[in-house]
Structure 1
């Protein structure tokens, strides 16, 4: 019964963090107009992202050294406080401050939850738990925009921020009941010097990613400067060898970044292409994205039941992701029926549903006791930063090519294929088969 409460609390927390991510994106145009803060619009997103990178790095090491409960409850408190500050903000500057606190708190929660899973559940349960986590992230993208639109139209944008804290308190109470008696207290990691230095590098990484984001709108100097800084800073936050996809955990982190970057950078441009180039209504263009969310959830369910082995998940998922991007890229040409857009993103979403939770499972399987937090933080930092870089670079390519949709899909296809090329490196032979089966020699 207590394990049921724990699972319910974990999934609810993931869902709330994911829902608020979607909600802010939908509500922010109204927020910026009401607070006369259109000029600070981008900072409301990039600031939260910067705070999240710092929170992820700090939370991972904190959870290893002291156990996941301290960063978890600190994160919950910061998440609630940031939401309340944003919801009551009299100016755009105060709202951005709330977003910083919210982003930091949400990151602490996210990385602490990985450590709770590692401590409280047997290894054979990890695929099912991360399947639930993946679905908890995807479902808000399906139902969130409609709910947020209704709240904004009926209650006002402030309630997009003010309602979630109440739900977070309820979820926190359920989670508190679930963790009671579970082996999640106390640290397992050994103290290591340089934590403050690592947090500082996280801040530098976040600023560099922000520079790239802003530079993609027409400032090549900012774009290049951000990329140069990232080349120096990011490797200090990731497992050694990540940028060359060394076998094991470095390849896991690299593949997560490549897959997430490929999908999200392509997905940014899909609605624009379908509406402006192929004449679809926003509603019909949105259905194409929703189809991918549905198959993402379905594939995550398959992964949770270990229908395929780890390596098959990553290879089949990477092939599906690349195939989906290739088909969607073909839709940019008038000779290809626009209806191809729908199965293309269904295929891409299916691929991500296999890849995403499998890499979460592998991260814990490849982590020694006391390293789950720092390795989980590396996984999440890599995903976030790779995604920002992918969006920034493809946005710049789109501009340089003169509304070059084909350039965006070509670049993201290369990323997906690079992920396919390193998939085998991410899965040691000992864990390639589903749980309970013996891996074949390789």
Structure 2
């Protein structure tokens, strides 16, 4: 039973994880066919936003009423939304259906990790969580390949439709093989807290994502900021009085849990700096094609995958603090290498830095989840796992917004103020043929300016890695004592 359930969980996780990378390849074709280039960023933002908002709610529901029903609901919604995405006839429809996909993924990812924690003891969790973490690495490698193949040979619609049969297989396997005993409870979901959290977080993330695109404080962003402050403040005040809080603050303030969540939050900034800005460095500074830029990110996925598997199998060989400190130190080393890059730096330095960061993530991420699920009780495991996933997503969103604002300010103001770059668009440096058509002096000026903006982003990523390292030093030296009902 346990093996079959694990296979079903890995399959569901793979489908949700690969969705981001496989869709990225298809977006230019989608934007062209649906006449929605101006809305293309929301194809990603809608998925990310609704995944983040729903994750903690699903975690609490799973703790109160059982994992199976929540996971089946998530897979079912993800499957239906994938079908609708493949049938969309306008960009507006696609964005709505992507939001539904995000709502489904918000249950699939954390609840799968929670069930793994239920099925395996501490000594075994490292191995399985390592494999589960490796699924993310594999998806990063296969996503662009699968997406490119489907777009070139069939249609962009199959990027979404391909999910349907595999998601249904996972759905059926969980129904048949996963046996769960749910203890009846009189506790109820904190509906008020859930609504305040959902709307407050939505306003917060909407404002962040929009600001990262425009870099201007528009009225809608200001309204979103005000609403998010009011609603999230009301949420935290409500949680202190609720009998069954959505996010138990006492749980999240426990030293080990707070340290893990803090390290994951800042490590997410490093991750997004890689995925978003290494391709820009490759294309706009080094003049490489989109395919070559994708290859520069591949060491991250490959190193993460293999290190997750090996690290998960050797979880007991090192203390949580040593493993976390090693992982965060590698993140810091990799980002420092990136801050030292220049236009004349060999490509090898980029590959080396990205691989080192991948090893750091592979060593630390499975360990974080295993320790987190060990120190909490069965009735709190879903909430704790979901909160951790939520903080990782918010960390990536914050990273995109902050790094995007910094990069845009440096580069766009430079393009405006430099006499030789007046009238030249930033986008022209993302297309090799357009770049080659520019005057050599103008091209050099633009590349230097973009390199300066990216170096600043990488300095920010190094700072985030350093903070994550300091937080990791607070983890215990010895393996944690399991909760009594763990």
**TM-score between the two structures when normalised by the length of structure 1:** 0.89
Give the 3 Å change call, closer, same or farther, for CA 291–285 of structure 1 in structure 2.
Answer: same
Segment drifting more, 354-363 vs 383-392: 354-363
Give the 3 Å change call, closer, same or farther, for CA 189–385 of structure 1 in structure 2.
Answer: farther
Q: Give the structure with higher Rg (CA).
A: 2
Q: For 1:362-409, what per-residue CA distance to the aligned partner results, in whole angstroms no more than 9, with x for missing partners?
A: 221121220111111110110111110011101111112223111100
Q: Distance in 1 between matches of 2:304 and 2:226?
A: 34
Give the 3 Å change call, closer, same or farther, for CA 224–405 of structure 1 in structure 2.
Answer: farther
1:179 aligns with 2:178: yes
1:323 aligns with 2:371: no
- Residue number in structure 1 paired with 2:302: 294
Q: For 1:182-215, what per-residue CA distance to the aligned partner results, in whole angstroms no more than 9, with x for missing partners?
A: xx33158772563442343133213311211111
Q: Tell me by how many angstroms 1:228 deviates.
A: 7.0
- Residue number in structure 1 paired with 2:346: 337
Q: Tell me by how many angstroms 1:309 deviates.
A: 2.6
Give the 3 Å change call, closer, same or farther, for CA 91–179 of structure 1 in structure 2.
Answer: same
Which of 389, 394, 408 in structure 1 is aligned with 2:457?
408
Q: Is the 8 A contact 2:203 2:228 kept in 1?
A: no
Q: Distance in 1 between matches of 2:37 and 2:91?
A: 9
1:356 aligns with 2:365: yes
Q: Tell me by how many angstroms 1:149 deviates.
A: 0.9
Q: For 1:149-171, what per-residue CA distance to the aligned partner results, in whole angstroms no more than 9, with x for missing partners?
A: 11111111111111211111122
Which of 418, 430, 441 in structure 1 is aligned with 2:467?
418
Q: Distance in 1 between matches of 2:168 and 2:455?
A: 46
Q: Distance in 1 between matches of 2:274 and 2:222?
A: 21
Q: Is the 8 A contact 1:6 1:177 kept in 2?
A: no
- Residue number in structure 1 paired with 2:28: 29
1:431 aligns with 2:479: yes
SS in 1 for 2:318: coil
Q: Tell me by how many angstroms 1:240 deviates.
A: 3.9
Q: Distance in 1 between matches of 2:327 and 2:184?
A: 34
Q: For 1:311-340, what per-residue CA distance to the aligned partner results, in whole angstroms no more than 9, with x for missing partners?
A: 122100001011111112212x23533321
Q: Distance in 2 between matches of 1:111 and 1:262?
A: 21
Segment drifting more, 144-153 vs 209-218: 209-218
Q: Distance in 2 between matches of 1:158 and 1:381?
A: 29
- Residue number in structure 1 paired with 2:207: 211
- What is the RMSD of the two structures over their aligned residues, measured on CA atoms? 2.5
- Residue number in structure 2 paired with 1:16: 15
- Residue number in structure 2 paired with 1:284: 292
**Where in structure 1 are there 5+ consecutive unaligned residues?**
436-442
Q: For 1:223-246, what per-residue CA distance to the aligned partner results, in whole angstroms no more than 9, with x for missing partners?
A: 777677666739947664999x87
SS in 1 for 2:213: coil
Q: Tell me by how many angstroms 1:148 deviates.
A: 1.0
Q: Is the 8 A contact 2:111 2:386 kept in 1?
A: no
- Residue number in structure 2 paired with 1:439: none
**Residue correspondence of structure 1 range 34-433 to structure 2 within 5 A:** 34-180=33-179, 184-187=180-183, 191=187, 194-221=190-217, 233=232, 236=236, 240=249, 247-305=255-313, 306=315, 307-331=317-341, 333-334=342-343, 336-402=345-411, 403=450, 404-425=453-474, 427-431=475-479
